[in-house]
Structure 1
Amino acid sequence: MITRHRTSTRVVLHTLGIVLAAMYVVPLAYILLTAVTPTGEPIGRLPSRLAFDNFATALGSAQFGTFAVNSLIVSIAATLVQVVLACGAGYALAKLPLPGGKTILLLLVALIVVPPEIVLVPLFLMMVHFPLLGGNDIVGAGGTGLLDMLGGLMVPHLISALAIFLMRQFYLGLPDELGDAARVDGAGELRIFIRIYTPLVLPAVTVVAVFAFQGAWNDFIWPLVMIRSPERETLPLGLTGFFQENSTQWNLLMAVVLLISVPVVALFLYIQRYFRSDVLSGAVK
């Protein structure tokens, strides 16, 4: 009876896994099939040939090179800053006797559930009235601030309450004895943070980096609000313009969608080796 029950449980779990995998694989396969369908052939059927030239045609029909550079600049810069700030804030909340640390933690948890659309208008006004930039004076008047600048696109992605909370939980799980031993040897707090604790939380750092890069790379609403010049558009905005110009050429549109997805997938595949559960066990020994 026990063996039969275990077998039934495995069958149910395997079936559920196959169904969930199909929910992700089937749409992706449909996009790929559409992307290699020659122009003029019906969408959703097996094509007569694989038209890989659709990718080159799609890229040549818009300024996707400029859009890609803009997206890379914004995403990489925002990711680096967010990772550094999240690690520093998470370490301070977890390992330092920070006054009001519990209150700050509660505020972070509250900010996690706040939709980003709520702060869209206040953040836009702050960017427009940013002092000493875009023709503004010291009090932020007279110009446009960070409006229509790539620097303004990075601002919402520089700090993440979820990233800080995640890093705080990882640092909290590390033994205090590591820091105490380093202090006895004369190490300063900055060295303990950089050389002792942070190398042990690389899996969390990679998670934060992936989330930060993906959030900045896929962001559409904020660039739509901030950008006025076509040469400063990012890939999501460029994809919208391409769709408006080529609304019936679904094969070219799906080709662009696949190309836009490549950097995020490549980043995840590159850093997945850091997702190891035995990092701490090896270090403590």
Structure 2
Amino acid sequence: MTNTKPLTPFIIARESTYYTLLSLLAVIMVLPFLWSVGSSFKPDNELFSDTIRLLPQNPTFEHYINAFTTVPFGRYFSNSLFLAIIGVMSNLFFGSLAGYSYARLRFTHKQTFFRLQLTSLMVPGVVTIIPTYIILRSFPLAGGNDILGQGGTGFLNSYWAIFLPGAAGTFAVFLMRQFFLTLPGELGEAARIDGCSEFGIFWRIYLPLCRPALATLAMFTFQGGWNAFLWPVIVLSDPDMWTVQQGLQSFSFNNQTAYGPLMAASVVATLPMLILFLFAQRYFTQGIAFTGTK
């Protein structure tokens, strides 16, 4: 026997209104992106026309060509891709190690350390910019610094300054700990009886079971690294090391903005995130569901 409620006119009207509002909200959210895509294919005479059209009448790839020829946007793209991938790998590895230790290992004051680390999530990121900058600049024996951290630039103007501060973020530790808690502890006990080392238990037994959480964390980390703008502007002064978000501002110069190439470059900059979500959305939803059960 099924326990379904009869479809009364009130329920039908309520559901219709609900899905209509959701559809309208989805259209409102996707409309700016569609307008950017359409504008990237418009020639200049249509782009600055008084008549507003979503789709171009005479599509052209001119703006995409100019986006990669007027500025080294391809280099900016590869820089961001490299930094995002390195950030994902380091965050997954160190975040998983820390999360496993909090979930499965026993050591003194474990809960105290974990709670102290969680308190850092309540501190706005902009508050830590200056202390982090000073630490990176004064790092001993880096960037011409002496043993006391003086005389050079430390890790500034290098890729180390980008991914070192977030190599093991608090959110990564928290997310992985929550997922490790959902896995049965008997797996680790059986592996210990068989003589497996603690790192082997983590690497061979538990980590392969964490693919949904790893995919979720990878997406969040990649998104944060790919969209980062303020911190790269602060620590990177060499134009050859700029990220894609810094490269987008290159299309505005002398109080003028090249809107066509800017729209084309913006569309290209969104492609990695779209592709990543399309391929990892199944693991993403699983990771959110599993980590929310503990």
Same fold, TM exceeding 0.5?
Answer: yes
Shift, 1:276, TM fit: 6.8
Q: Structure 2 residue aligned with 1:220, among 226, 229, 235?
A: 229
Q: Aligned ranges for residues 78-97 of structure 1 at < 5 Å?
A: 78-97=87-106
Task: Identify the residue that residue 259 of structure 2 maps to in structure 1.
Answer: 250
Stretch of structure 1 that moved more, 269-278 or 40-49: 269-278
Report the Cα distance in structure 2 between the residues aligned to 1:68 and 1:246, rounded to whole angstroms: 24
Query: Any conservation in 1 of the 2:41–2:60 contact (CA below 8 Å)?
Result: yes
Task: Identify the residue that residue 142 of structure 2 maps to in structure 1.
Answer: 133
Secondary structure at 1:16 match in 2? helix
CA distance 1:101–1:245, shift in 2 (3 Å): farther
Task: Identify the residue that residue 43 of structure 2 maps to in structure 1.
Answer: 38
> How many pairs does the alignment contain?
279
Report the Cα distance in structure 1 between the residues aligned to 2:232 and 2:80, rounded to whole angstroms: 10
Secondary structure at 1:68 match in 2? helix
Shift, 1:31, TM fit: 0.9
Q: Does 1:16 align with 2:21?
A: yes
Q: Deviations over 1:261-283 (max 9, x none)?
A: 112222222333434749xx9xx
Report the Cα distance in structure 2 between the residues aligned to 1:184 and 1:69, rounded to whole angstroms: 47
Task: Identify the residue that residue 174 of structure 2 maps to in structure 1.
Answer: 165
Q: Structure 2 residue aligned with 1:153, among 162, 183, 187?
A: 162
TM-score by length of 1: 0.91
Report the Cα distance in structure 1 between the residues aligned to 2:168 and 2:128, rounded to whole angstroms: 14
Stretch of structure 1 that moved more, 71-80 or 124-133: 71-80
Q: Aligned ranges for residues 92-103 of structure 1 at < 5 Å?
A: 92-103=101-112
Task: Identify the residue that residue 3 of structure 1 maps to in structure 2.
Answer: 7
Matched AA of 1:110: T
Matched AA of 2:170: A
Gaps of 5+ in 1: none
Report the Cα distance in structure 1 between the residues aligned to 2:169 and 2:25, rounded to whole angstroms: 29
Shift, 1:128, TM fit: 0.7
Q: Does 1:108 align with 2:113?
A: no
Stretch of structure 1 that moved more, 175-184 or 250-259: 175-184
Q: Aligned ranges for residues 49-64 of structure 1 at < 5 Å?
A: 49-64=58-73
| Percent of aligned pairs sharing the same letter | 36
Report the Cα distance in structure 1 between the residues aligned to 2:198 and 2:17, rounded to whole angstroms: 51
Shift, 1:229, TM fit: 1.5
Report the Cα distance in structure 1 between the residues aligned to 2:222 and 2:232, rounded to whole angstroms: 15
Matched AA of 1:230: P
Task: Identify the residue that residue 236 of structure 1 maps to in structure 2.
Answer: 245
TM-score by length of 2: 0.88
Q: Aligned ranges for residues 168-183 of structure 1 at < 5 Å?
A: 168-183=177-192
Q: Does 1:211 align with 2:212?
A: no
Stretch of structure 1 that moved more, 113-122 or 174-183: 174-183
Shift, 1:65, TM fit: 2.0
Matched AA of 2:220: F
RMSD: 2.1
CA distance 1:133–1:261, shift in 2 (3 Å): same
Q: Deviations over 1:123-175 (max 9, x none)?
A: 00011111111110111111111111122121232121111101110001111
Query: Any conservation in 1 of the 2:83–2:162 contact (CA below 8 Å)?
Result: yes
Matched AA of 2:33: L
Gaps of 5+ in 2: none
Report the Cα distance in structure 1 between the residues aligned to 2:14 and 2:186, rounded to whole angstroms: 43
Stretch of structure 1 that moved more, 91-100 or 66-75: 66-75
Query: Any conservation in 1 of the 2:216–2:283 contact (CA below 8 Å)?
Result: no
CA distance 1:153–1:275, shift in 2 (3 Å): closer
Shift, 1:221, TM fit: 0.6
Query: Any conservation in 1 of the 2:157–2:237 contact (CA below 8 Å)?
Result: yes
Stretch of structure 1 that moved more, 3-12 or 121-130: 3-12
Query: Any conservation in 1 of the 2:251–2:261 contact (CA below 8 Å)?
Result: no
Query: Any conservation in 2 of the 1:109–1:161 contact (CA below 8 Å)?
Result: yes
Shift, 1:116, TM fit: 0.8
Report the Cα distance in structure 2 between the residues aligned to 1:111 and 1:138, rounded to whole angstroms: 29
Shift, 1:98, TM fit: 2.7
Report the Cα distance in structure 2 between the residues aligned to 1:12 and 1:199, rounded to whole angstroms: 43
